[in-house]
Amino acid sequence: MRENLHRFFRAARGAGVHVSPAESIDAMRAVAQVGLTDRTILRDALLLTLAKSQDEKLALGDCFDLFFSQPEPPQEQPQASKDDASQDADQPPSSGSASEAGGGQPTEGLGPLAQMLLSQDRNAIQAAIASASGAASLSDIRYSTQRGIFSSRILDAMGLQRLRDDLDELTANNPALAERLRAALDGLREAVRDTVSQGLALYAREEAENLRNEILRNAPLARIERRQVAEMRALIRQIARRLRERYSKPRKRQRRGHLDVRRTLRRNAAWGGVPFLTAWKRKHRDRPKIVALCDVSGSVAQVSDFFLLLIHSLHEVVDDVRSFAFSSHLIEVSEILEKKSPEEAMAEIMSTVGFGSSDYGSSLVDFERDFMSTLTPQTTVIVLGDARSNNLDPRADILRRISERSKRLVWLNPEGRLAWGFGDSEMPRYATFCSVVRQCATAQQLERAVSDIVAIYQ
C-alpha cells in the first residue's frame, strides 16, 4: 500500500497538485483508516487530504481514476461457433478440452505464466502485471520513446523467457494448446502496452510539462505565438508565486546576526561578565522602496502584459512600491495593481494608456512634473521598455536627474542588445545614467532580473 501511495503522490505532482511531505503523511494516515477496499471512499479521502482548490480537486480526481484503472487482458475468443460450442450437458468434455482448459496432464510441466494465461484468471494476471510494473520501475518512465523498453522489462519480470520455452515445447507436442497460449500471450502484450501507456500518462506528465516550460522560459516574449500566450501567462504567474514565496517571509523576519562581544560584556557587568544577556550585531537595511515605470505602447504591448504581471507581484513582495505606465503620457497605476486581480488590472491599464505611440520624452516630463518627489536616496527605479521614442526628443536629461535622486536606476529592455541604438532606439543614451541595464527578452531573464532587484532588500 505504501509503495502504491508513493507512486500516486508522484503522479499527482505531475498532474499539477502540490503534495508536501506533511500532506502525504496525512493522506497515508487517512488511507490507513478507510482502507483500500472501497474505491469511492478512498478517492474522497485522498481528495480531502491533498486537494487545496477546485482545480486541484479536478486534477486529482482525474489522476486517481487513471491511476487505479487497471487494463484488463482481453478474453479469449472461442474459435468455434456458439452452436458448435454448446454441447449436451450430460456429455462429459473430451480429453482435448480438458487439456486446453488447463486441468489436464499437458499443462503440468508449464511455467507459472503459461498456466496463468491458459486458466484466464484475470485477477491473477492483473496482479502479476502490477507486480512486474513495480519491479520494472514503471514510475521512472518519462518519454514516449521508452514504451518499448518498459514493456519488455515488465514481460521479462513476468517470466517471458520461460513462456517462450513452454511455447516451443507445446508447438512440438500439442499444437492446439500452443496456439491457444500464443493467443493469450498476444492479449498479455496488449495489456502490458496499455499499462505502460497508463504509466506514461501518469508519470511523464511532469517531465513533459517541465520540458515545455523550459522551452517557453527561453522563448522571446515579443515573438510568442497566439496559442502560447495563455501558457506564458501561467508561467509568469508561477514566477511571481516563486518570488512571493522566496522573499515575502524572509523579509518579515529580522536576522539575529553575529554576537556583539563588547555590548554583551557591558550588558553583563553586574554579573561579573557571565553572559546572561546577549547582544547581537544587526546589519542596517534600508526600507525597500521601488518605483516602476512600464512602457505599454503598441510596440511592446504583448511584452507589457508579462511586465505588468510581475509588477503586480512586486506589490505583494515589497511594502513600498509605486507603479506607473506610459505610452505617450504617463499615469500612476499603483492603486489599480493593488486592488484588482492581475487580469483586471492589465485590462484597465491597457485600455487607459496602452497601445499608443511611444514618447519617452513626454512621459519623463510627466513623471518629473508630478512624481519626482517620490524619489529618495533609498529608491530603486525600474524602467521596463524598449527605449524607442519614434525619433522624438528622448529627454535623457530627466533620466539623469532621476538617477541622481535615486539609489539605483535599473533598465530592463525586451529587445536584443544588437538592436540597441539602431533606428529610433535611444538605449545607448539612456544606459549612460543607469546603474544596471539588462536584456529581458525571455521569461527566464525577466525572473532573474526581478529576483536580483528584490534580493537587495532582503
CA-nearest of 284, 287, 283, 285 to 319 is: 287
Q: Does 177 map to a domain? A: yes
Q: Does 330 map to a domain? A: yes
Q: Does 187 map to a domain? A: yes
Stretch 252-257: mean pLDDT, rounded?
A: 51
Q: Are residues 303 and 380 in the same domain?
A: yes
Task: Provide the pairing of β-strand 436-439 with 320-326.
Answer: unpaired
Q: Are residues 312 and 368 in the same domain?
A: yes
Instruction: Say yes or no to pLDDT of 61 above 70.
Output: yes
Q: Are residues 423 and 375 in the same domain?
A: yes
Q: Using the 3D structure, point to which of 69, 87, 121 is the last residue of a domain.
A: 69
Structure confidence at residue 367 (pLDDT):
96
Q: Are residues 299 and 367 in the same domain?
A: yes
Question: From CA 59, how far away is CA 371, in angstroms rounded?
Answer: 47
- Give residue 380's Cα distance to chain centre: 31
Cβ pair 383, 293 in contact under 8 A: yes
Q: Using the 3D structure, point to which of 205, 240, 257 is the last residue of a domain.
A: 205
C-alpha cell at 268: 553583563
Q: Using the 3D structure, point to which of 177, 205, 233 is the last residue of a domain.
A: 205
Q: Are residues 381 and 291 in the same domain?
A: yes
Q: Does 194 map to a domain? A: yes
Domain range for 190: 108-205
Q: Does 136 map to a domain? A: yes
Q: Does 275 map to a domain? A: no
Structure confidence at residue 253 (pLDDT):
45
Cβ pair 402, 374 in contact under 8 A: no
Question: From CA 195, how far away is CA 187, in angstroms rounded?
Answer: 12
Q: Are residues 435 and 363 in the same domain?
A: yes
Q: Are residues 148 and 45 in the same domain?
A: no
Could you tell me what percent of the chain has a pLDDT over 90?
Answer: 21
- Give 282's DSSP letter: -
Q: Which of 9-13, 123-127, 167-171, 340-344 has the highest mean pLDDT?
A: 167-171
C-alpha cell at 278: 546577549
pLDDT confidence tier of residue 246, bands split at 50, 70 and 90: low
Q: Are residues 58 and 129 in the same domain?
A: no
Structure confidence at residue 338 (pLDDT):
85
For the chain, the domain total comes to 3
Q: Does 81 map to a domain? A: no
Structure confidence at residue 457 (pLDDT):
56
C-alpha cell at 405: 535622486
Stretch 142-154: mean pLDDT, rounded?
A: 87
Q: Are residues 64 and 156 in the same domain?
A: no
Task: Provide the pairing of β-strand 320-326 with 330-332.
Answer: antiparallel
Burial (Cβ within 10 Å: 0-12, 13-18, ≥19) of residue 102: buried
287-to-69, 108, 252, 365 alpha-carbon distances in Å: 56, 83, 12, 27
Q: What is the pLDDT of residues 285-305, one digit of tens each?
A: 555 688 999 999 988 877 887
What HEC string does 59-83 produce? HHHHHHHHHCCCCCCCCCCCCCCHH
Structure confidence at residue 100 (pLDDT):
43
| Prediction pTM value | 0.57
Q: Are residues 35 and 162 in the same domain?
A: no
Stretch 20-36: mean pLDDT, rounded?
A: 88
Q: Are residues 180 and 130 in the same domain?
A: yes
* Terminal CA-CA length for the chain: 44
Q: Are residues 29 and 115 in the same domain?
A: no
Burial (Cβ within 10 Å: 0-12, 13-18, ≥19) of residue 201: middle
Q: 11 Cβ partners below 8 Å, 6+ apart?
A: 63, 66, 67, 139, 202, 203, 205
Cβ pair 268, 382 in contact under 8 A: no
- DSSP-based three-state secondary structure for 368: helix
Q: Does 124 map to a domain? A: yes
Question: Picking from 8-22, 30-44, 283-297, which range would have the lowest pLDDT averaged per residue?
Answer: 283-297
